[in-house]
Structure 1
Amino acid sequence: MRASIRELRRHDWSALRCGCGQSGAHLAESFSRLLNARSTQETIGYTLENHLEVQSMLFEVAPHAVPVMLTALGEDLHDSVRGHFLGMLEYLVTGESHQSEIEAGRPDLEEECIAAVREGIVVLYTEAASGDAEAAFDILEFVDEDEDRLGYYRSVLAARRSP
């Protein structure tokens, strides 16, 4: 079994609030479909938008989704799913807790997401080196506290792309 599926199963999604107004129970199916998709067609109807976040306002499910997406980025994913996960990670590290989450005692979901991304930061540097560097660096700018490392990778990868 893939590590991303194990990570997905580690969480009790039904106990978490989702941006759609339901519990996060349905996210296990959405994630499974995305993780197993081999074509863009197979991803239709399965998105994390308006579930983890709504207009960059984060919900309780968000920080739990981060390790699933990071683990998946280290695996074989369809390009559209890889792009979706990278986009979602950027929303999660730049967003803020929805008012309902603040009222429920979760005012720092963005900090939880940033901390979760930092735990798997090497995955983003791997993505920058061998995948979508621009998307990876968009996330790394918000999460990597080591400016020397960020600058080094930017310069090395920029030099590699130069003619």
Structure 2
Amino acid sequence: MNNEAGHDLLDAVVAATDWSGYRCGCGRDASHLPELLTRLLAPRGESDTDVHHEITSHVVTSEYLNESALPATRALLAGLADGVGWDVYAKVTQVLLYILSCETVANAFPPVDPGYVDLCHAEARKAEWLLLRDFRSGPPVVVDDIIEIFELLDEEEWRERLVALRDRRDDAVRRPS
């Protein structure tokens, strides 16, 4: 999972985003989020996995999606594509689950377009191929999160297939040789 070459895609997404143009759950603009995201998605051994709680509180407030969720989702997906360890992967899927569980945007002035939730969910949907790539080799906590993400994306057919694959894998592990 780890990409020894670095985080080229993450760096590109962070650099291409005008973070100050997005409002954050803390009430400020989102220009401080790249630092938190890069701390979480740092190369193996350097990652601060505890920061995922802080990231979540900036993008989701009391089950409401904040404007900073869209660029954060893009950065998280870029980090997954670049490659991270399973401990970090599990934290990223947790943040994605929080984002996907939101159905409304936080009250803000000026108001955020109500279609913003759909936009964030569509952005998260782009992770499907990454999640499918990593499903078979992921540890149980990641596998369960991936299944839940597919459920939140209303991908029932994929979710059912993944549950069946997980169950077969679990049976093979439990079955004595």
Pairwise TM-score range, normalised by the shorter structure: 0.7 to 0.9
Q: TM-score scaled to structure 1, two decimals?
A: 0.84
Distance (Å, rounded) in 2 between the aligned partners of 1:42 and 1:51: 16
If the length of structure 2 is used for normalisation, what is the TM-score?
Answer: 0.78
Task: Show structure 1 runs of 5+ residues with no match.
Answer: none
Q: Deviations over 1:56-82 (max 9, x none)?
A: 211111022212212222333244432
Residue pair 1:17, 1:24 contacting (<8 A) in 2 also: yes
Whole-Å separation in 1 of the counterparts to 2:58 and 2:75: 15
Q: Do the aligned partners of 2:66 and 2:105 also contact (CA within 8 Å) in 1?
A: yes
Matched, 1:100 2:124: no
Partner of 2:144: 134
Deviations 1:7-42 (A, max 9, x none): 222211011100000000001111122221544874
Does the C-alpha gap of structure 1 residues 14 and 91 become closer, same or farther in structure 2, counting only changes over 3 Å?
same
Q: Which residue of 2 aligns with 1:11?
A: 17
Structure with bigger gyration radius: 2
Q: Where do 5+ consecutive residues of structure 2 fail to align?
A: 1-6
Match of 2:31 in 1: 25
Partner of 1:117: 124
Structure 2 Cα separation of the partners of residues 108 and 83 of structure 1: 28
Give the 5 Å matches for 1:46-57: 47-57=54-64
Q: Which amino acid aligns with 2:66?
A: F
Relative to structure 1, the CA distance from residue 144 to residue 9 in structure 2 (aligned partners, 3 Å threshold; closer, same or farther) is: farther
Task: Give the residue type in structure 2 aligned to 1:88.
Answer: V
Q: How far apart in 2 are the matches of 1:119 and 1:45? A: 24
**After the TM superposition, which of the residue ranges 60-69 and 122-131 deviates more from structure 2?**
122-131
Matched-pair identity in % = 24
Q: 2:47, 2:79 → 1: CA distance? A: 19
SS in 1 for 2:55: coil
Tell me which of 149, 153, 158 is aligned to 2:162. 153
Shift of 1:157: 2.7
1:45: how far off? 5.6
How many residues were matched structurally?
161
Instruction: Say which is worse superposed, 14-23 or 109-118, in terms of deviation.
Output: 109-118
Q: Which amino acid aligns with 2:162?
A: Y
Note closer, same or farther for the CA distance 1:80–1:109 as it changes in structure 2 (3 Å cut).
farther
RMSD of equivalent CA atoms: 2.3
Q: Equivalent residue for 1:86?
A: 93
